[in-house]
Structure 1
Amino acid sequence: MTDNIRHVTVKALAWDLAADIHLPPDFDESKTYPAIVSVHPIGSCKEQTAGNVYATALADEGFVAIAFDASFQGASGGEPRSVEDPVFRVQDISYVIDHLVTLPYVDADRIGVIGVCGGGGYSINATMTDRRIKAVGSVTGVNFGGLMHESFSGYDPIGALDAVAEQRTAEARGADRQITQYLPPSPEKAKEQGLTELDLFEATDYYRTTRGEKPGGRTEGLFSRQGSAIGWDAFHRAETLLTRPLCVVIGDKPGAFGAYRDGLEIYRRAASKDKELVVAEGFSHYDLYDQHEPVKIALGHLIPFYHKHLGE
């Protein structure tokens, strides 16, 4: 694995994004390389799976890979903190591409994107409208808007929107901010509370232990800013706009976060003429974050996919 990482700042709407550029081995500043934007999951950060697993592996294969912290999260700017807004998350990808196309060693005509979990949904959505993206990969990708519209709002989106509106008004008048913690504090606490559903428990095992825990991975969201997500759909107009080559990787052990369902749906709906569905048999959503065998399966398809569509 390469340790050749450059820490950079990327200009966003009115603040900077913190990003790590992972460079290929034997990197030569005088050459030009294909580049891939790696988008982190909900509540995650650039040092976790998007960076230390997928961006690192892609850099080792000759790509310039950039992992970044979303606006309002990690080491990136934006206030208030802990906002998970799909509109901003998708725009962030384009801001990162704005940065990439200024780098003399990046070929602006060979830029791809990869996303993990919610980052997969954001990557797909961004590819529909930013034609600078030439190929998109989704690893256990989730349509966060669908989750917020359904189970994360108790299947009562209107009731949830009413509560969000009330809380936002209260905060505008000076009330304390209400932060939603996505996960229990530890796997042990999850068991004590009976929170053993597959995705929820494995998320806790990843984010709340030394396995994946990083300072920037906060796994929390500002409740008063959740309205945008409840009304958003990552796959809207995919039948028309998602024409770029697409590689969807999912595990076949479905959980409550819906990656298995969402992967099958976007594969079916995408207008892409060149699309591939990879099912890692016997593995779950969080296995694809960092476990050797399922990650090997994912990269075994993603690396040739990007070489084919972005070049060597």
Structure 2
Amino acid sequence: MHTHIQHVSYRNLGWDTAADLYLPPNFDASKTYPAIVSTHPIGSCKEQTAGNVYARVLAEAGFVVLAYDASFQGQSGGEPRYIEDPAIRVSDIRFAIDYLQSQPYVDTERIGAIGVCGGGAYTINAAMTDYRIKALASITGVNFGRLIREGFSQFNPVAALKAMAAQRTAEAKGSARHVINYLPDSVEASRQAGMTDIDVLEATNYYKTARGQQPSGATSGLFLFNSAAMGWDAFQQAEVLLNQPLMVVIGDKPGAFGAYRDGWEIYGRAASQHKEIVVAEGWSHYDLYDKPEPVALAMAKLVPFFETHL
């Protein structure tokens, strides 16, 4: 089957969002279709797993799917570059829904959302306060607030916040912006640095090699702006506000980024009357990004889930 991709842009808060619109085979603009917003991981872009894997397969199944670049990242606008602010990332999902609702071939009552890694948790958080999302799925979702308080701050968030405050003061006085890379430059470099965690090694293999590398997938973030995530929790109020049908997909090989534990946590906490958790046995977080077998396992559950609830 063949899907068609349209490159589109639409207005965000004060800048434009760049997006790829994946259209089903034999798309007919005179008809109406269910639609899905697909949100990419932290440090990623629309051309990677959220787009070229999940959006593509969902479009082949008959959905209109919008994969977009986060504000300040990829080909989307916003300055300074490489801001990773959870509130804005969640806002991006709302603007993506706005765009879909403005298209005459989208059934506005049948809009869903899916996200990968950090994008999965952003999708969960967005659904709690935007009931235009009628069903949602998190693929190996990671709660960025928890992650930055733990591993990304070496389990010392107070010290990290003090360092960010000092950096903000320095930059306000004219110092160069401090851009961090969330990953080592190569798998070899990570091993030489003594890193052995499966998530770090496999993330580096995905983002820093031809396997998944894309020009817009910078895996970078502005250090001081990470303070916005320190007090943020993707799952706050899920017991009350997360009511839509929910599917959580995780691998059973846990790593330092914590998708396995986060998946089970939100599955337990969500108020959704219909919720499912899919555990890809024998597969890891980054296997679910693009490896054919675990992706096929996930899609075998995701397609009927969205067909039922959209």
Q: Same fold (TM over 0.5)?
A: yes
- How far is 1:184 from its partner? 1.0
Aligned equivalent of 2:279: 279
Offset of residue 24 of structure 1: 0.1
Find the counterpart in structure 1 of residue 35 from structure 2. 35
Q: For residue 72 of structure 1, what is the aligned residue in structure 2?
A: 72
Query: Counterpart of 1:277 in 2: which secondary structure?
Result: strand
Contact 2:15 2:78 (C-alpha < 8 Å) held by counterparts: yes
Matches within 5 A, 1:41-60: 41-60=41-60
The answer on whether the counterparts of 1:2 and 1:59 sit within 8 Å (CA) in structure 2 is no
Give the Cα separation in 1 of the matches to 2:241 and 2:26.
37
**Segment of structure 1 superposing worse, 165-174 or 275-284:** 165-174
Which residue in the other structure is 2:108 paired with?
108
The CA distance in 2 between the partners of 1:184 and 1:170, in whole Å, is 25
Give the Å deviation of 1:195: 1.7
Match for residue 99 of structure 1? 99
What is the SS of the residue equivalent to 1:133? coil
With 182-191 and 34-43 compared, the bigger mean Cα shift is at 182-191
Task: Confirm whether residue 159 of structure 1 aligns to residue 123 of structure 2.
Answer: no
1:126 matched residue in structure 2: 126
- Secondary structure of the equivalent of 2:134? strand
1:24–1:62 Cα contact (<8 Å) kept:
yes
Extract unaligned runs of 5+ from structure 1: none
Aligned to 1:293: 293
Partner of 1:5: 5
Match of 2:175 in 1: 175
1-structure distance, mates of 2:30, 2:144:
40
Seq. identity, %: 64
The aligned residue for residue 15 of structure 2 is: 15
1:3 Cα shift?
A: 4.1
Asked if structure 2 preserves the Cα contact closer than 8 Å seen for 1:38 and 1:115, the reply is yes
The question of 1:255 aligning with 2:228 is answered no
1:130-149 matches, within 5 Å, as 130-149=130-149
Measure, in 1, the Cα distance between the counterparts of 2:2 and 2:237. 38
- The answer for the alignment partner of 2:222 in structure 1 is 222
Question: How far, CA to CA, are the matches of 1:265 and 1:34 in structure 2?
Answer: 29
Compare 231-240 and 145-154 and name the one that shifted more: 145-154
Partner Cα distance (2:77, 2:2) in 1: 27
1:204 aligns with 2:204: yes
Q: Distance in 2 between matches of 1:47 and 1:79?
A: 21
In structure 2, what residue type is equivalent to 1:150? E
CA RMSD of aligned residues (A): 0.7
Cα displacement (A) at 1:40? 0.2
Q: Tell me the alpha carbon deviations over residues 58-86 of structure 1, each in whole angstroms, 9 at most, x when there is no partner.
A: 00000000100000000000111011110
Shift of 1:2: 3.0
Distance 2:192 2:148 in 1: 26
TM-score (norm 1): 0.98
Residue 173 (structure 1) shift: 1.1
Greater mean deviation of Cα atoms: 176-185 or 244-253: 176-185
Task: Tell whether the 8 Å contact from 2:147 to 2:257 is kept in structure 1 after alignment.
Answer: yes
Query: How far apart in 1 are the matches of 2:200 and 2:154?
Result: 16
1:309 aligns with 2:309: yes
Q: Distance in 2 between matches of 1:41 and 1:203?
A: 11
Task: Give 1:129 shift.
Answer: 0.2
Q: Check the 8 A contact 1:177/1:222 in 2, yes or no.
A: yes
Instruction: Provide the rounded CA distance (Å) in 1 between the counterparts of 2:292 and 2:6.
Output: 26
1:80-91 correspondence runs (5 A): 80-91=80-91
Runs of 4 or more, structure 1, over 6 Å off, are none
Structure 2 residues not aligned, in runs of 5+:
none
Range that drifts further, 103-112 or 153-162: 153-162
Partner letter of residue 169 of structure 1? T
Quick one: distance in 2 between partners of 1:79 and 1:168? 16
How many angstroms apart in 2 are the aligned matches of 1:169 and 1:76?
A: 27
What SS class does the counterpart of residue 54 from structure 2 fall into? helix
Q: How many angstroms apart in 1 are the aligned matches of 2:121 and 2:10?
A: 22
> Hey, what's the Cα distance between the residues in 2 that align with 1:231 and 1:150?
12
